[in-house]
Structure 1
Amino acid sequence: MKQLTLILFTLLTSVGFAQQTVTGTVKDADGELLPGVNIIEKGTSNGATTDFDGKYSIEVPADAVLVFSYVGFTSKEVPVGGKSTINVTMDSGAQLEEVLLVGSRALPRSNTTSSLPIDVLPAKELASTGQLTFDKALQYKIPSFNTVQTPVNDATSLLDPYEIRNMGPSRTLILINGKRKNLSSLLYTQTSPGRGETGSDISAIPTDAIKRVEILRDGASAQYGSDAIAGVMNIILKDNDDEGSVTLRTGITSEGDGETIGVSLNNGTSIGNENNGFFNYTIDFSKTNLANRPGTVDAEGEAIDFEADIADVRDFLNKYPDANNINGSPENAVAKFLVNGGYDLNKASSIYMNAAYVYKKVNSFANYRTPYWRTVADHPYLADFFPNGDNGEYIGYAPTFEGDLNDYNASLGFKTKKNGWNYDISYTTGGNSQAYTVNNSHNRFAVFEASFNDANGNGQADPGEEFEAVELYRENSPISFDPGGTKFSHHVGNIDIAKLLSDKVSIGFGAEFRNETFEIVEGDKASWDGGGADSFAGNRPENSGKFNRYNFGGYFDIAYDITEDFLINGTVRLEDYSDFGEAFVWKVSSRYKFLEDKITLRASASTGFRAPTLHQIYTQKAQYSFVPGEGIQVGGLVSNVSPQARLLKLPKLDAEESFNVTVGLGVKLNSKINFTIDYYNIQVEDRIVLSTEVAPPANDAFEGLNDLSFFVNAIDTRTSGIDFVANYKNIELGSGELGFSLSGNYTIENERDGDVKEPSFLNGTGQSVVNETQEALFFTSRPRTKWILGATYEIGKFDFSLNNTYFGKTTFRQQGLDENLSTEFIPKVVTDLGIGFDATEKFTISLNVNNILDVLPEWEFVSLNSAGDAILNDPAQVKTQSNLITFNQRYSQMTYDGYHFSQLGAMFTLSLNYEL
């Protein structure tokens, strides 16, 4: 800690130089005054804009260089040279480049001068996808980004796991206006992509509030701290104060379900008599109905799994071929509120803020309990609990899973510039809570409580009074349960300082303090006592509680323009966590431009880290899961700091460490044609995984559990691949303009490096914390390659877009699958069509048909050897294997453990947008 304090003290020492005010006007070549021209002090974020009379005023050092830029005009650099008045004439013919806020902690740079691969998505491109949520829009715009709906919903129905470069949701850092967004309180524990991890709820961010998205596809722990091993996503909010719109959207699937309706309002206003500030707000409400895609259940598989009479099974399935199962996309209702604002206190200082609140209600279902699964012979009271048949007879029941999610984040900051030093001081808070309800279920376990006849009415047992045992559940069970939930919150303080020391060198440094709290909320007793509520047991008192930690970090960043074309950028960071100690990381990046900036070579090398989340350290619970051939069983997830962990001699969780290398090429032939290609290599040591289910040792502490799982630093991994992005735009065709884009991601390798690091208690048992199913989830459950080919055409009042997204092969080794087989999802192309019509200057109609060709996932068995060949040549064995991984065909489209891409058929959406 003394070392960290000394570094931060050194970083926060600064000197200053004199400023002067420069004023002037900006005109075009015809002498017309230009309002809204951007004037930036080169190498800094200090800037101004021209007013309606083309006038500007900016405070800069005497030796500064001013950069004048405007859409459709060539940027111009003008040295101040001590002058107090500078008038500028701009020439037309160029497009304004974005100034990137992500990638360097020194000073912002344009996209062409960045030394790192960064995708920039304007709001218009997100809206053009027709997708209903922000995460799904990214799925069809960024090849290295993937997200899927999980086959078995329960808690994961509240938000879907996502990832960049197959690295899991917890290795991509999410920023809003450059400030860290809070994690979700949800820990993914199902056997599906994202297992054992958590991430931010990016689906909660209203798309209409977003100005643009910057995605840094490179390790950035040195700049931003933990969670940035795979990259950083910076969401820039709208800041306009004189524009607004209201959007009404509706949609339905080709199957006639999944109906959605929503309305969104985005608007802005200026603040102050001289328009010194702005206030932009977004309100978004939406409702989506259930889209159900159950499979046709196999009677023979059911009879075997549930040891049921085949005649009873067939009789039920003849009436209900899907066994009344409900799976697909759950019903949800969402309300989103977001504000973004800023105010200039004077020419050098300003304050800024943003805040968001999201409420999400999701209704989903557990697997249907058929009458041969939960029988009246074993549970006679079920006939009274669930008279669901046409004539009031018992035909089983479907427990519901209902989730209430609350997510909030807010930032408040102060920026100022003094003597060339840029200061940014901010406070950020955020949180996520999820509360669950299970209805239409029961506690089927025999739990007794001692009772006595209190004849004297004194509330205590007296001599001679008789005790009796009262059964709490079964026929006395409630059918509605409160299993508790989870909460997460953080508080973050930042100090960031940057300065352009010369026309070649800029530096940035700062400090961050972060406090995190994770809470497991206790469920009501009936939800966990005995075995708890059927389908989803509640949080037990001994597994519940509130857990906290803090960390303190500091960084130093320097950028050196050796020449106008040659840049080197370096960053170091030191963090100290209260629960596992210090982490020191670094990053070096460079770029070289030549041929009049048409070609840029870039490269970076960095170390990184990811701290174990509080969720991974402290979560302990019993949970229901599907065991192939055995139906639903109860397993236990053991906390890393529990007495059970000590019995198992589990090591304490430590931080993951990474080494990233990126090498890329950027080509901008002209204003119409550009492309980038980047190679990346990511090595992660001590990767934290949620183990596979292992048999518990013979110990009373694990009585009643079918299996155990736990978190452990189990494996080292290496991931490498290539990202490609190309654009050819503004092609004149008839009286309109045509544009093409092609982007792709190809995974060269994504695999375990070395042996699994097993806990000692598994030695000699023949078991491992990482089995073939886990390996597939880590490394092959996302497309090996993904490509997006898009075309746009704008003519008159119409604009058209056509996107084809190619999802490459994915491979699974589902739990229970024969070791001689694997499962492959067949490559598919999903085609999306969008049509926009500007009915008036303010009113736009947009129609999107997503997955217009109604493409659905398909999978097939693949033999690994001659024994696998023998299985595939025997239809009976093939059927058995298929039943094992689909829960007897309940999940025939996606299998129980995996999904290729989230599609339930074609989706038609219509939106009406009116500009205010």
Structure 2
Amino acid sequence: MNQFLLSLSIILSSITYSFAGEITVKGQVVDNYGDALPGVVIYEAGNTSHGTSTNFEGYFSFKIEEGKTLIARAVGFKEQTFIATNDTELKISLQEDATELEAIEIVGSRSQNRTVTETPVAIDVINLADVTAATGQLDMNQLLQYVAPSFNANRQTGADGADHVDPATLRGLGPDQTLVLINGKRRHQSSLVNIYGTRGRGNTGTDLNAIPMAAIERIEILRDGASAQYGSDAIAGVINIVTKKNDDGISVNMGTGITSEGDGATANVDVNYGAKLGDNGGFLNLTGQYQHRGRTNRAPAEGEETFRTEVGDALADSYGAFLNAGVPLSENTEIYAFGGYNFRHGESYAWTRFADDDRNVPEIYPNGYNPNIISDITDYSVSTGIKSMYKGWKLDLNNTYGYNGFDYSVNNTVNVSMGASSPTSFYAGRHYLSQNVTGLNASKYYDGILEGFNVAVGTEFRIDQYGIGAGEEASYKNYSDGSLDGGAQGFPGFMPENEVNVNRTNAAVYLDVEADITKKWMMAVAVRYENYSDFGSTLNGKIASRYEVSKALAFRGSVSTGFRAPSLAQIHYNTKFTDFAGGVGIDKVIAPNDSELAKTLGIPELTQEKAFNASLGFTLNPVDGLSLTVDGYYVAIDDRIVLTGAFTEDDPDVGDELKAMGVGAAQFFTNAIDTKTMGIDVVVAYTHHIDLHTITTSLAGNFNHMELGEIHTSDKLKGKEDIYFGEREQMFLLASAPKSKFNFSVNHSYKKLSTMVRLNRFSEVELMNWDEEIDYYSAKITTDIAVTYGFTKNINWTLGGNNIFNIYPSKQDPLATESGGYYDAVQMGFNGAYFYTKLGFNF
């Protein structure tokens, strides 16, 4: 499938190619045993956008100028060049290259002789050049939302920090149950823990939007449990981001867009530069990016009763840079480095404080106000290492460091307890996370054992650090006798007693073997042991297999155990904040599990989540150009970590403690529930060539169903299950993904022109509102279009629209929704139609 998608991207982008003096080049590609090789990419040297790929009998055919140099490329084989001639039919033989230092590796397999179509588990490979050419999405979360049906992400509103980092899920599981890698190395998570919003409540996650899309060559999504291979967080799967290595030329892309309501204006500029380092194959690839996203407002209509006058996307300005480099020291040794920096300034409105609100100071805001929550997010990482070959072993010694920090401010606000003398802006504090991973990995392929045998071993040592820093005194202090609200309205600052600076270590070892028992049957086995300094050790395993009935049909499946360690944020996050239930503000605390308040209530300390994964599917290629993959999955997770409901001041066990703290309610992180998730992923694609026309259709869908088990409480909490994790919170968890999502697209290219039409169907979603009634969001279909014209080989222009028919979720009562508006953050979001244009240059 990797080679299929790569070749598809080549075909779709070939509109920039000039067809003067063309001949038809055709032939067959085979391996050194004479067997046909499907999915081999063949392209013009120096112009990767012009080419094709071999079918399942190894044949290819496409048009090119006579005398041009062509390159044939396949994973696990040495590249071969040849000249375009009018020969009747070419015969190209590729030689295996199992020991190549720069062999392409695909997430989910450490074998150097395995292509994505030969893996025993489901893997999507998304070529960014293809996808970004036909979409107006500025950030990665929203892009993946529309190209990977099992991936879901929605922008939140009125959810504090979650307004600035989109919680994303894979197969409806938690944002923190998907592991993110960059070039195969573990990516650090965000320091944000979601406590509001409709998705990912109680979870941490990874900020994918901190990585410039212009720096990315492809995204690999492993849709299968992989804790035994890659460690914690890989219960739902793995997203591996592979960055660019091109070493010549400059590409510049500019774009802008706006919604049909005239707000949410966007602007994007990115530059990618590649250069050679030395004369022995060294490379340097640099990327710079600026993005702007304006606010949107979909608040209830004027005159309608509401709790908010500003409901919509936050403002965001983002500046990013990324570097990828490698320098050979010898024929068998290379040093490499990659990393990036991102700074994002975000502004979002909290709930409205009206003129007569107790949380207003009329002398300052006679007409009321909307507190403006400001986040300044700093995210950076650097990864350095050395690769070498020694007696057939491929060695990789690496160290990767990553950091994510949030600094909060609030303006257009007030500390009510200070009266008319209150400032209107405050520094509210910060939280931060860092991660350092040192790893040594080794793998070797043996072609003399069975039909091929690959063994990989490795070890990792990780240090995680998490901290909270206090804001200025006036951002959190109550200067009255308790009769007035204290702290900054909208986002009370972190207090000195909230401050933490904690760390933990983790040591891991793994063994991963793959064997081709016969030419048609392969098996893979992985086992991984990890030990955490704060809660102990875990051992997990995985068995996967694939059987090829024929070149057109293969079956694949796996079973594995998995785990996820509670994040340091879930263990140690604590704060006082203002929540709104049906428009009524209430001051709450989130208390850590080792606090006296948690012990008083009988909240147990956090432990790891444990999982069992199983998948079974098949790949089918019945005719040339047509492919079908179907994969069913089952994921059972015990002891999932969630954020409890609110225990209030009238609770007989903790009421007195809460009153003494001056707050009305308390929440905790806890291993509250077991879940079972079942589903099916389906991907169908068909490509057809008619003269110079290329038509590609694809249908990708996900069916997902989650079941919840009994609520786990301590003896002291018996009878309080409805508070501990009640029906409303359960429905938020069940709505982490629509029950089904489909994308159907048709792409057509002819010479310099290409078009795309895509239909997106989101199934119904149900949530419980503050009135304890069900908000039903009916199924919706949105339509996206894009037209791209290549003026020359180096200049192209795109005009397009997303959700062009202005489809919105089902309207609800704004006095009862989580967002305080007509809609919650479900399905396609609630901004309506968005139109854009982009211009690209390549030098």
Instruction: Verify the 8 A CA contact 2:500 2:572 in the aligned structure 1.
Output: no
Q: Distance in 2 between matches of 1:358 and 1:115?
A: 36
Give 4+ residue runs of structure 1 displaced > 6 Å after superposition.
37-40, 49-53, 67-72, 74-79
Within the candidate set 593, 596, 599, 1:643 is matched to 596
Matched, 1:689 2:608: no
- 2:565 aligned with 1:611: yes
Q: Secondary structure at the match of 1:293?
A: coil
Q: Which amino acid is 1:589 matched to?
A: A
- Aligned counterparts of 2:165 and 2:558: Cα–Cα separation in 1: 33
> Residue 421 of structure 1 contacts residue 497 of structure 1 at CA under 8 Å; is this kept in 2?
yes
Q: What SS is found at the alignment partner of 1:802?
A: strand
The answer (yes or no) to whether the contact 1:73–1:93 under 8 Å persists in 2 is no
Aligned to 2:795: 843
Amino acid corresponding to residue 567 of structure 1 in structure 2? M
Q: CA deviation at 1:181?
A: 0.7
Q: Quote the residue 1:741 is aligned against.
A: 698
Match of 1:718 among 669, 676, 701: 676
CA distance in 2: counterparts of 1:373 and 1:76, whole angstroms: 65
Q: Which has the higher mean CA deviation after the structures are superposed, 169-178 or 769-778?
A: 769-778
Counterpart-to-counterpart distance in 1, 2:362 and 2:682: 60
CA distance in 2, matches of 1:184, 1:78: 38
**2:383 matched to 1:427?**
no
Work out which of the residue numbers 195, 208, 214 in structure 1 matches 2:214: 208
1:701 corresponds to which of 618, 632, 657: 657
CA distance in 1, matches of 2:76, 2:593: 58
CA contact (8 A) 1:436 1:485 kept: yes
Q: Aligned match of 1:573 in 519, 524, 528? A: 528
* 1:323–1:561 Cα change, 3 Å: closer
Q: Deviations over 1:520-540 (max 9, x none)?
A: 111111111123111211111
> Which residue is 1:91 aligned to?
91
Q: In the alignment, what sits opposite 1:330?
A: 314
Structure 1 distance, partners of 2:736, 2:454, is 43
> 514-523 vs 146-155, which deviates more?
146-155
The count of corresponding residues between Structure 1 and Structure 2 is 759
Q: Find the counterpart in structure 1 of residue 330 from structure 2.
A: 346
**1:396 counterpart (368, 375, 380):** 368
Contact 1:102 1:108 in 2 (8 A): no
Deviation by residue 1:659-685 (Cα, 9 ceiling, x = unmatched):
000001011235511110000000001
In 2, are the aligned partners of 1:38 and 1:50 still within 8 Å (CA)? no
Contact persistence 2:770–2:817 (CA under 8 A): no
* 1:393-423 Cα shifts (integer Å, max 9, x gaps): x111121111100111111011100111110
Q: Is the contact made by 1:366 and 1:398 (CA closer than 8 Å) also made in structure 2?
A: yes
Q: Distance in 1 between matches of 2:770 and 2:716?
A: 22
1:18-54 CA distance string (max 9 Å, x none): xxxxxxxxxxxx9x9x9xx9999x9xxxxxx99999x
344, 364, 375: which one aligns with 2:348: 364
Report Cα offsets for 1:625-661 as digits up to 9, x if no partner.
1112x61111111111222222222211100000000
Q: Distance in 2 between matches of 1:594 and 1:764?
A: 55
Structure 1 residues without counterparts, runs of 5 or longer: 1-29, 43-48, 54-66, 80-88, 303-321, 387-393, 446-472, 861-881
1-side partners of 2:826 and 2:337: how far apart? 39
Select which of 744, 768, 784 maps to 1:813.
768
Q: Which amino acid aligns with 2:549?
A: F
In 1, the alpha carbon distance for the partners of 2:588 and 2:501 equals 23
Counterpart pick for 1:291 among 293, 296, 308: 296
- Match in the other structure for 1:521: 469
Deviations 1:836-875 (A, max 9, x none): 0001221110112111111111156xxxxxxxxxxxxxxx
Query: For 1:746 and 1:524, how far apart are their aligned partners in 2?
Result: 48
3-state SS of paired residue (2:809): coil
Q: Name the structure 2 match of 1:481.
A: 426
- Judge conservation of contact 1:781–1:812 (CA < 8 Å) in 2: no
* SS state at 2:728 partner: helix
Q: Following the alignment from structure 2 to structure 1, what is the Cα–Cα distance between the partners of residues 411 and 681?
A: 46
Q: Which residue of 2 aligns with 1:757?
A: 712
Q: Does the Cα contact within 8 Å between 2:104 and 2:112 map onto a contact in 1? A: no
Task: Give, in angstroms, the shift of residue 766 of structure 1.
Answer: 6.7
Q: Report the Cα offset of residue 501 of structure 1.
A: 3.0
Instruction: Return the alpha-carbon distance in structure 2 between the equivalents of residues 422 and 592 of structure 1.
Output: 27
8 Å CA contact 2:307, 2:351 repeated in 1: no
The match for 1:728 is: 686
Whether the 8 Å contact between 2:156 and 2:197 is mirrored in structure 1 is no
Match of 1:501 among 416, 432, 446: 446
Offset at residue 343 of structure 1 (A): 1.2
2:336–2:384 contact (8 Å) kept in structure 1: yes
Q: Which amino acid aligns with 2:707?
A: E
**Structure 1 residues 92, 244: CA separation in 2 closer, same or farther (over 3 Å shift)?**
farther
TM-score, normalised on structure 1?
Answer: 0.79
How far apart, CA to CA, are the structure 2 residues paired with 1:280 and 1:38? 32
Matches of 1:890 and 1:537, distance apart in 2:
20
CA 1:335–1:608 in 2, change beyond 3 Å: closer, same or farther?
same
CA deviations 1:597-623 (Å, max 9, x no partner) are 211100100000000000000011111
- Aligned partners of 1:490 and 1:807: how far apart in 2? 36
Q: Measure, in 2, the Cα distance between the counterparts of 1:39 and 1:421.
A: 22
Q: For each residue in 1:260-295, what CA deviation from the matched residue of structure 2 results, as whole angstroms up to 9, or x when unmatched?
A: 1221101100000x2420001110012222111111
Q: Does 1:491 align with 2:421?
A: no
Q: Does residue 624 of structure 1 match 2:608?
A: no
User: Take 2:684 and 2:657, find their aligned partners in 1: how far apart are those partners?
Assistant: 58
Counterpart in the other structure of 1:225 = 231
Any conservation in 1 of the 2:694–2:748 contact (CA below 8 Å)? yes
Quote the Cα distance in structure 1 between the aligned partners of 2:219 and 2:75.
26
Secondary structure at the residue paired with 1:385? coil
Tell me if structure 2 keeps the 8 A contact 1:325–1:890: no
Query: Are the counterparts in 2 of residues 74 and 92 from structure 1 also a CA contact under 8 Å?
Result: no
Deviation at 1:494, TM superposition (A): 0.8
Distance 1:690 1:674 in 2: 42
1:179 corresponds to 2:185: yes
Whole-Å Cα distance in 2 between the matches of residues 373 and 702 of structure 1?
24
Say if 2:805 is the partner of 1:853. Answer: yes
Coordinate RMSD, CA, aligned: 3.0
Segment of structure 1 superposing worse, 496-505 or 840-849: 496-505
| Structure 2 residue matching 1:112: 3-state secondary structure | helix
CA distance in 2, matches of 1:891, 1:715: 30
Q: State the 1:73 CA deviation.
A: 5.3
Q: Look up the equivalent residue of 1:752 and give its one-letter code.
A: L
* Offset, 1:824: 1.5
Residue 74 (structure 1) shift: 9.1
Choose the corresponding residue for 1:776, options 717, 731, 751: 731
1:210-261 superposed Cα distances (whole Å, 9 cap, x missing partner): 1011000000000110000000000000100013201111111111111112
Determine whether 1:891 maps to 2:839: no
1: CA distance, partners of 2:525 / 2:453:
12
Give the match's secondary structure for 1:542: helix
Q: Provide the rounded CA distance (Å) in 1 between the counterparts of 2:739 and 2:766.
A: 9
Go from structure 1 to structure 2 and tell me whether the alpha carbon gap of 1:323 and 1:478 turns closer, same or farther (over 3 Å shift).
same
Decide whether the 8 Å contact of 1:150 with 1:899 is kept in 2. no
Query: Is the contact between residue 206 and residue 284 of structure 1 (CA under 8 Å) also seen in structure 2?
Result: yes
The structure with the largest alpha-carbon Rg is: 1
Question: Hey, what does 1:797 align to over in structure 2?
Answer: 752
**Structure 2 vs 1, CA of residues 668 and 579 (structure 1 numbering), >3 Å: closer, same or farther?**
same
The farther-off stretch of 129-138 and 570-579 is 129-138
| Residue-by-residue CA offset, 1:683-728 (whole Å, 9 max, x unaligned) | 0011111111122434543122222110111111100000001110
1:806-827, CA deviations, whole angstroms, 9 ceiling, x for partnerless residues? 0111111123324xxx221111
Separation in 1, partners of 2:573, 2:342: 25
User: 1:107: how far off?
Assistant: 3.7
Change (3 A) 1:537 1:587: same
Amino acid of the residue matched to residue 754 of structure 2?
D
| Separation in 1, partners of 2:202, 2:829 | 21
Which residue of structure 2 aligns with residue 315 of structure 1?
none
Q: Could you give the per-residue CA deviations for residues 453-500 of structure 1, whole angstroms, max 9, x where no partner exists?
A: xxxxxxxxxxxxxxxxxxxx2233222111101100000001100011
Q: Which amino acid aligns with 1:710?
A: F
Instruction: Label 1:108 to 1:359 Cα distance change in 2 as closer, same or farther (>3 A).
Output: farther
Structure 2 residue runs of 5 or longer lacking an equivalent are 1-22, 36-41, 47-57, 61-68, 79-88, 98-102, 479-485
From 118, 121, 135, the counterpart of 1:129: 135
